Structure 1
Amino acid sequence: MNINPSPLVITGLGLMTGLGVNLTDSWQGLIAGRSVTAPFRNLDPARLSCPFGVELPQAADDLFQSHIKKRKRSQMTRSTQIGLLTAEMAIEDARLDLERLDRSRVGVILGSTGTAYIPDDGQKEEMRILKNMLNSPVSWISLNWKLNGPSFIIGTACSSGVYAMGAAYGLIRSGQCDVVLCGSADSSINYPDIEGFRDLLALADATSEPATASRPFDAKRSGFVIGEGGGILVLESLDHARRRNARIYAQMHYPGFYTESYNILSPEPDGIGMARCMHRALQESGLVPGDIDYINAHGTSTNLNDLYETLAIKTVFADKAHEIPVSSTKSMTGHCLAGSGGVEAVISCKALYEQTIPPTINLTHPDPRLDLDYVPFQAREKELRHVMSNSFAFGGHNGVNIFSRYGNSR
């Protein structure tokens, strides 16, 4: 093993959310504080107990058709297509000239809990196996760009993207890869998954005003709003990035990981496991709590997550907790499930680069137990040096990323 001592940096971002089909449109929507939660367009709302969510804009379908050949599309689920398109965006954004790289040293590591393949009841489908393969997204990305480096999927539910980024970090640090595409994508907007989350009492209550249903940290929050999307990042060593004169969005530190081993569904009381994970991320980065300038919260709009995450932040940051802006972009993107870790990593890096914090929208009824600075409604310009991004998952798999601003990146 040849250890690469160079810091690791993010040089490309690909993003698809309900706010936009690319990084620029999604970021503009976030900064504007837009809500796009609406009755489902691709499903029959009458068949669902929670009839709304955050779907990708209709323009996404045009992109899938124009960028992926029909035969290939027939072999992919929507989740896989999102992964492939966001990877393409990240590669282009990073200005990667693959002809000049050793493709055997370019890896692809994504987070996923499945491809969200839902067969028609009892119907034979020719492409069932290809659509349902867990490794389908990374396989298609590798095939599309003839990448021969390590390529695999990591599944830890909503923290999958963070764990994938940790694995990517290890591949570069160990000397096995020069560049790794990493992150996550998910589209689980389908009848069985929506009703399944509803049965777990995880989804927001049905309301005549879906635009305000995702309300993290609000006293009237009732559950998360399901979304779809993907966030993929190009990770490489600083030395490699400098050699090709790459733009640098942020430095990435090795994430903090912690398994609660408490309950398959509920987080550990008082946010103990969340706090331990944030502590580990700080230890891995060599930073102290006072160094963090913004926290992109997991912020699901569920009663327990928002309470326990707030308590965990207070545990970790103590007297500084009330001084650190904390926002939940899920108030706008919805909860992209396995895709959320990648989506929010991209948003965190963009926030660092733009020196701007996206808001938490729909925070109209303050919860007296939740008294941090949640950046309500309006984006905020602020000097950002270090940003923390939290991902806490069913099964107790917690992951926390910390990104730092690169001094001469702009």
Structure 2
Amino acid sequence: MKYSILFISIFSFIFGQHPGDKAVRSGADAFYNYEYEKSIKILTKARKDYPEHPGVHVAWVAAHWRYEEANLTIEEVYTNFDRNLSEIVNVYNSLVAKYPDNQEYKLYQGTAKGLNARILLGQKKWVPTLISAYQGFRIIQKTQEKDPYLTDAYLPIGIVEYYAGMSNVLVKAGAEMFGLNASKVEGIRKMEIAATKSPWAWTESMSILSFIYQFIDINKSRGLELSKLLSEKYPNNYDYQVHYVFSLIQTGALKQAKMELNKLNHKLIELGPRHRKLYTAYLNYLWGHYFFLKGEDEKAMGFLEKCIELYHAELDAFLGNSHLLQGMILDKRKDRMGAVISYNKCIKLDNHTQAILMAKQYLNEPFQG
């Protein structure tokens, strides 16, 4: 969750009616459907044909970033991302100077500047990360204040309000000082507006809300609804399929979950090397959870151990769930010491997920099965 906030939604603002909308929408859809080369080709041409389109430049950077993330080393990814980002920041600065009253250009200027935080985050430069993220967000916030009908801006504002609502007193005070409502409830309300009323931000909004409902503020039925919509709209997006299967498992639809898991097994080999490594860990978790619910603890434990061994993703929600389920299986085996070790590994992640609360509960009162 914390990384999503800093990587402020790339396609999260309404373009209105502009020449080139159809081309940019096509490029964005290809991006979300993991057709990165197609997306880059479409958006590169659109940048030349429609250089004053508000969203085409940041969409182009996003497409390059995700393609390279799946195929290059992390050092190459950050180098290229930094170069491309510097290029479009200059473009948006020029557009804002040329059209100072155009709020859409300012929205994308803020987004582009905020994206620099993604590079700094990877370099573990914490203070510059926060400064960069704030600078971008503040531009977005001012734009939304001037034009409240730009409903897509509800997404980044909602994200920050949600995060502030589950943070410490100092973070909450800082958010409120800048006119934000440091409330998880208000943050979710704003993100739901973006998910249901925006023709562009709905994808990112649904994705983030799906994650929240699956891991943090549990709402199994809404999580399933959102993850299913995304998986059907973008069938080649492996991440969306993973979260859809997780929702199926959470809601007890195990027969359907097994069918989808088998599909994910076959699709895994089609991914780029880095994505394949990432999603192999996720897939092992899903099989582990599936077999846990089926009562086949030996199989479940094997998959969970493999997930933990292979895990290297920044978002560690599935890792926390793996440690939790591992502890629950060990409790069922009467291996209390092993269970306590697993629960403490889960708690140590400190990622605000429901798994942390459950692990703390089972530290005090062993899982009975």
TM-score (norm 1): 0.27
Q: If each structure's strand is expressed as a fraction of its own residues, which one has the higher value?
A: 1
TM-score (norm 2): 0.29
Structure exhibiting the larger radius of gyration computed from Cα positions:
2
Q: If each structure's helix is expressed as a fraction of its own residues, which one has the higher value?
A: 2
Higher relative contact order (CA 8 A, sep 6+): 1
